[in-house]
């Protein structure tokens, strides 16, 4: 069977596209979700064009072999983790920006292009590709699309899906479908674009995307504030969101600030309960007015320290603490990174619940994230060598998912379900919605070959 499969793939693909080297396969077994299960792939295919992808899916369909599509491998939920005997289908050699149309305000790209490369190509024409996951310098657009990746600026400018006009997708049987188009608005038929975006390679393989570009916004003003209580910080967040349009609104808790200070001393107040970062890119005196309104929200909510800077370099410096949050926590041990979301009004309750879980499970949890979207990353830190610590960490990770669900929230705001959160999906969605998922999956991939075991 294996030999026959390889022979069939070899017959329809360039020889250099087909890799069975054990070390290379090992390096393509998983993404960054270290603790999620992964299987042993049979072969890696490095597709260089849509026809390669079609060829792989035709063979896979004929032989009912699972196909696990893969971008840069920077995913955080195991969405690209291999299943035993699968074909890992890498899209990283389909890495061209095919077109930047400055008058149409769009770019056409292949899935293996990095987010940073799209931004750069847009910037060359004086334009901006907005979505900015933390991984923007090393994550692929295909992966961004597959997970509907978020980021820091999406509080004002939306997530990856909001920047997609159209897609080319290869379906399970190797046929090719184009969704959407080059127009900003389009209600001709079902929103297939949005169905594929965020579907983690379980409904089709994205081979091209038409992305929306924008003019670059005015230079941002940056505000930082510290709070003696989590509830005060939460109150400030909802007030800021109800009164202004921040282009960034991030929160870090005490544990995270301490980890950052231990990693790179920046003079953060390690006694404060929470550290808030906000930006306005409204520009001119409106930007100043907006930052001042944000400052008033912080002061009214009990902030002990509030400052802001209109200087771009200084603003970047203020953002350093936030950028270091995850690396700093990673230096303290192994990590299990949650990605929960709650309704805006319930952020303080989430933060309090996480503190309780950390105490009860006797683990360190540093929480940071996109407060303006209610999307937080409580990060469980533990000693990799201690099996008991791993067990406690896993329990804490699950408790945090439960806490988010209890607050009417979501188990994943931007990282995706993958295999890591798959066991919790039904708890969030309910039996009826899961049944709809299975119906859609069955309609699009009747043989179940596309990234099996992910999402639903």
Within 111-170, the residues that bind a copy of itself by CB under 8 A are 126-127, 147-148, 150, 154-155, 158-159, 161-162
Candidates 12, 440, 447, 448: give the one binding a copy of itself (CB under 8 A). Answer: 440
User: Using CB under 8 A, which of the segments 65-73, 88-96, 188-196, 302-310 binds a copy of itself?
Assistant: 188-196
Q: Which of 24, 120, 289, 388 binds a copy of itself (CB under 8 A)?
A: 289
Strands 87-90 and 43-46: parallel
Q: How far apart are CA 298 and CA 72, in angstroms?
A: 39
Residue 250's DSSP bridge partners are 277
Q: Output 73 or 150, the one with its CB closest to a copy of itself.
A: 150
Query: Are 358 and 396 in contact, with CB atoms under 8 Å apart?
Result: yes
Tell me which DSSP letter residue 126 carries: T
Where does this chain touch a copy of itself (CB under 8 A) — which range of 136-144, 262-270, 377-385, 435-443?
A: 435-443
Select 379 or 410, whichever has its Cβ closest to a copy of itself. 410
Q: What CA–CA distances, in Å, run from 356 to 110, 251, 349, 362, 364?
A: 45, 18, 10, 10, 11
Establish if 50 lies at the interface with a copy of itself (CB under 8 A): no
Q: Which window, 60-68, 197-205, 269-277, 356-364, contacts a copy of itself (CB under 8 A)?
A: 197-205
Closest to a copy of itself by CB, 274 or 342: 342
Q: What letter does residue 345 receive in the DSSP assignment? A: G
Cβ 349 vs Cβ 418: under 8 Å: no
The whole-angstrom separation of Cα 80 and Cα 249 is 30
Q: Is the CB of 41 or the CB of 161 nearer to a copy of itself?
A: 161
Count of residues near a copy of itself by CB under 8 A: 95
Segment contacting a copy of itself (CB under 8 A): 5-13, 110-118, 237-245, 269-277?
A: 237-245
- The residues in 357-386 that bind a copy of itself, with binding defined as CB under 8 A, are 370, 373-375
Residue closer to a copy of itself, measured from CB, 258 or 454: 454
Beta-strand ranges (E) seen in 268-361 are 274-280, 305-309, 334-337, 340-341
Using the rule CB under 8 A, give the single segment among 25-33, 65-73, 260-268, 284-292 that binds a copy of itself: 284-292
Is 343 a binder of a copy of itself (CB under 8 A)? yes
> Quick one: which of 71, 133, 315, 341 contacts a copy of itself (CB under 8 A)?
341
Candidate list 428, 447, 452, 453; residue touching a copy of itself; CB under 8 A: 428
CA-wise closest residue to 220 among 316, 320, 325? 316
| DSSP states of 98-109 | EEEETTTTEEEE
- Select the residue interacting with a copy of itself from 91, 134, 152, 171 (CB under 8 A): 171
Q: Choose one: 25-33, 61-69, 243-251, 258-266; the region binding a copy of itself (CB under 8 A).
A: 243-251
> Considering only residues 124, 137, 191, 311, which one is a binding residue for a copy of itself as defined by CB under 8 A?
191
Beta strands in 323-385 (DSSP E): 334-337, 340-341, 364-370, 375-382
* Nearest CB to a copy of itself, comparing residues 346 and 392: 346
Residues 72-111 close enough to bind a copy of itself by CB under 8 A: 101-106
- CA 130, 134, 138, 144 torsion-angle sign: negative
Residues 392-421 touching a copy of itself, rule: CB under 8 A, are 408-417, 421
Provide, rounded to whole angstroms, the least separation between the CB of residue 347 and a copy of itself: 10
Phi-psi region of 292 (alpha: psi -120 to 50; beta: other; left: phi over 0): alpha
Residue 104 or 302 with smaller CB distance to a copy of itself:
104
Q: How far is the CB of 417 from a copy of itself (least distance, A)?
A: 6
Radius of gyration of the CA atoms of the chain, in A: 22
Residues 310-339 that bind a copy of itself (CB under 8 A): none
Q: How far is the CB of 406 from a copy of itself (least distance, A)?
A: 13
14 to 33, contacts with a copy of itself by CB under 8 A?
none
Q: Are 248 and 279 in contact (CB under 8 A)?
A: yes
The residue (of 16 and 432) whose beta carbon lies closer to a copy of itself is 432
195 binds a copy of itself (CB under 8 A): yes
How many of the other CB atoms lie within 10 Å of CB of 14?
12
Shortest Å, Cβ 373 to a copy of itself: 4
Q: What is the DSSP letter of 39?
A: -
Among residues 133, 124, 45, 48, the alpha carbon closest in space to that of 87 is found at: 45
Please spell the DSSP secondary structure of 182-248, one letter per residue: S-S---SSS-HHHHHTTSTTSS-EEEEEEEE-EEPPPPPEEEEEEESSHHHHHHHHHHHHHH---SE
């Amino acid at each position: 069977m294996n030999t026959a499969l390889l022979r069939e793939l070899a017959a329809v693909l360039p020889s250099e596209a087909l890799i069975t080297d054990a070390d290379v396969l090992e390096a393509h077994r998983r993404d960054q979700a270290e603790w999620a299960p992964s299987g042993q792939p049979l072969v890696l295919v490095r597709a260089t064009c849509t026809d390669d992808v079609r060829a792989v899916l035709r063979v896979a369909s004929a032989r009912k072999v699972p196909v696990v599509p893969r971008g840069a491998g920077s995913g955080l939920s195991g969405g690209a983790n291999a299943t035993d005997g699968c074909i890992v289908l890498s899209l990283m050699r389909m890495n061209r920006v095919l077109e930047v149309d400055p008058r149409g305000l769009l770019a056409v790209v292949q899935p293996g292009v990095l987010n940073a490369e799209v931004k750069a190509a847009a910037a060359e024409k004086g334009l901006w590709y907005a979505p900015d996951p933390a991984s923007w310098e090393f994550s692929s657009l295909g992966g961004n699309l597959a997970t509907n990746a978020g980021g820091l600026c999406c509080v004002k400018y939306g997530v990856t899906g909001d920047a997609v006009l159209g897609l080319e997708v290869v379906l399970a049987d190797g046929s090719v479908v184009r969704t959407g188009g080059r127009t900003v608005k389009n209600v001709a038929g079902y929103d297939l674009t949005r169905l594929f975006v965020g579907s983690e390679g379980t409904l089709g393989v994205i081979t091209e995307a038409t992305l929306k570009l924008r003019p670059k916004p005015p230079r941002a003003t940056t505000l930082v504030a510290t709070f003696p209580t989590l509830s005060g910080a939460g109150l400030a967040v909802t007030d800021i969101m109800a009164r202004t349009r921040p282009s960034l609104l991030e929160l870090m808790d005490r544990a995270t600030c301490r980890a950052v200070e231990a990693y790179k001393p920046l003079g953060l107040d390690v006694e404060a309960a929470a550290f808030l970062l906000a930006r306005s890119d409204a520009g001119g005196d409106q930007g100043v007015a907006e930052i001042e309104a944000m400052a008033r929200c912080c002061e009214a909510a009990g902030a002990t320290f509030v400052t802001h800077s209109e200087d771009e370099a200084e603003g970047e410096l203020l953002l350093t603490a936030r950028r270091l949050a995850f690396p700093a926590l990673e230096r303290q041990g192994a990590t299990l990174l949650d990605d929960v979301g709650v309704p805006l009004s319930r952020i303080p309750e989430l933060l309090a619940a996480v503190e309780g879980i950390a105490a009860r499970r006797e683990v360190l949890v540093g929480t940071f994230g996109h407060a303006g979207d209610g999307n937080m990353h409580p990060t469980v830190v533990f000693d990799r060598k201690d099996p008991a610590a791993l067990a406690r960490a896993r329990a804490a990770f699950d408790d945090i998912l439960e806490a988010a669900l209890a607050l009417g929230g979501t188990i994943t705001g931007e990282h995706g379900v993958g295999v890591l959160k798959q066991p919790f999906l039904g708890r969030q969605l309910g039996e009826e919605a899961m049944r709809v998922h299975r119906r859609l999956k069955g309609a699009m991939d009747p043989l179940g070959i596309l990234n099996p075991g992910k999402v639903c």
